Amino acid sequence: MKSTELNLIPIFVAIYEEQSLSRAANRLEITQPAVSKALARLRDIYNEPLFHRSSTGVEPTSFASDIYPAMSAALKNYTSTLSASREFDPKVSNRIFSLACVSVASYQLMPKVIKHVRDIAPNISLEIHPLFTEDYESDLRLQRYDLIVDMPPSSDSNLKYDSLYSERLMVVCSNAHPRIKDEITIDEFLAEEHVVVSRWHSRKSLLQKQHIAQLDKRAVVCRVAGAMEMLPVIKDSEYIGILPSSTIREFQDMYQVKELPLPFDNSKQHLCGIYHPSRASDSAHKWLRNQIQTVAKDFSTYL
């Protein structure tokens, strides 16, 4: 493909997503013969059929489905550089931002972010996804997500992040736990069976020994996706877990659980907004990060 034919990329993406030459033409505000000519040129370049006619328009071939993710990412990356070079006006923008969040942020911080954004920028939408990503750097670089809310990345990561807030981690157990009363020692903590929040892709606990050294000595009997999956298990068992204090307080009456101080010196969870360096100067992305930090600042006052 010659550099002068890079304009074929948005046409391919439009045809693939619309599955109709006429709808693709309307979307791109060009004529249908121009779309047909571009499609013919793409077939020549790849020497492969890309679409088959259907009763409603066209259907992509398996080859077209294979190349679509790369073409879509290329187009998205290019358009993001254009938006970065223009001033962003949140009052009139209809941008859709995509965020992936660790579970405690998705049901505590994000509802307040959504309300704040809707109050000041009513046409902007937020997509909030569970943190089902394995390769943060790739997903952020390809803009599958604009931002990830999680604990800080490792020191060898190239990703950037903004600190949002810190919260004290606590032991959580049933009110009726037969052995645990108002406090717990390290030996007692390690003698109990544990429910842990797990990272789905690696089957590793969200909190590991690099956060608190003794955690690798726990007897883990159940791994769950988040706090909302942990608390019902703890309610009806003698298992214990670790959750942020505000989460336990918010749901302790519903699930009849109580909190106790962790018997370790390092017992805080730090959350941050993680993003790719290529988005650092994007005016829209900077605005989004600023709004989340504004809400997080207020949010941290009652944690």
Distance CA 294, CA 303 (A): 15
Stretch 37-62: mean pLDDT: 91
The percent of residues above 70 in pLDDT, for the chain, comes to 88
Of 85-94, 140-149, 171-180, 225-234, the poorest mean pLDDT is in 85-94
pLDDT digits (tens, 9 = 90+) for 3-30: 557 889 999 999 999 999 999 998 888 8
Q: In what order do the strands lie in the sheet with 219-224?
A: 204-205, 193-199, 219-224
For the whole prediction, is pTM greater than 0.85?
A: no
> What are the DSSP E strand ranges found in the chain?
51-53, 58-60, 96-101, 125-130, 147-150, 160-174, 193-199, 204-205, 219-224, 241-244, 257-261, 268-275
Q: Is the pLDDT of residue 198 over 90?
A: no
What is the full DSSP assignment across 137-179? HHHHHTTS-SEEEESPPPTT---EEEEEEEEEEEEEEETT-SS
Query: How far apart, in Å, are the Cα atoms of 130 and each of 100, 107, 135, 276?
Result: 5, 10, 14, 19
**pLDDT tens digits, 253-274:** 999 999 999 888 767 778 999 9
pLDDT tens digits along 104-154: 888 889 999 999 999 999 999 999 998 877 788 888 887 889 999 998 887
